[in-house]
Amino acid sequence: MARKAIGIDIGGTGIKGALVDVRKGELLSERVKFATPEGGRPEDIAEVVKKIIATLPGVSRGMAVGICFPAVVQHGRTMSAANVSKEWIGFDADAHFERVLGRSVHVLNDADAAGVAEMRFGAGRRRRGLVMMTTLGTGIGTALFMDGKLVPNAELGHLEIGGVDYETKASFAAKERENLDWDSWSARLQTYYATLERLFSPDLIIVGGGVSKNHQEFLPKLKLAAEIVPAQKRNNAGILGAAWVAADKHYD
């Protein structure tokens, strides 16, 4: 594997990127961020990604690019679209970005990328068995790993519990929307994680998303058989994981 790759994290409101040391799991540059263009169309987003890469110091011509994206991604195609244009549904994202950027590109789901970062460099490092990564934000993103290997596109934030898509009740956005205190929100998280545990019997659950910096306010309130811990890479996780996967795919 090469030592360096470019990581790009595409969201509904912002696109950020950095040069990454994929052996150490560290950023080699400051993160560069631009607003996601209105409408979130493929051509417009690709131009912003191109602009970010041109801004990064130390980028060489043959460097691979990993892009994490808010969608189910199968064989380089984005099969859904969250907070971006519906033009992405069924779209060959790998080929599109490779054409615009002139580089080897690997696109993957954003929660999967964050999970890869935690498994390689963070809270899941050297952990065997079934590990579940969850990100608590606008929704609930999830990633599954068995003995360190990713099982892609696990959309377990959409588990139906009590007749509702439970990310609408237990995401951090739901906490803010309903002005829930930590105890009330933790009760909902208990329902969610207990359901995951009943269905999958994980050995470890990693909790990410911006709210994980306040993990002491809610994780100690959860009563589970599985160990549950905060993520370590936080806002850099998508960039780190996407870059690692791109380097791995480019040189395998």
The whole-angstrom separation of Cα 108 and Cα 128 is: 23
Contact 204/196 with Cβ under 8 angstroms?
no
Say what percent of the chain tops pLDDT 70. 98
- 217 pLDDT band, cuts 50/70/90, is very high
DSSP 125: T
Pairing status of strand 140-146 against strand 149-151: antiparallel
User: Looking at residues 183-210, what average pLDDT do you find?
Assistant: 97
Tell whether the model's pLDDT for residue 152 goes beyond 90: yes
The pLDDT score that the predictor gives to residue 82 is 83
The CA–CA distances, whole Å, from 81 to 13, 77, 96, 235 equal 13, 11, 16, 21
Q: Taking each helix axis from N to C terminus, what angle separates 42-55 and 93-101, rounded to the nearest 10 degrees?
A: 50
Q: Give helix then strand counts, H and E, for the chain.
A: 7, 16
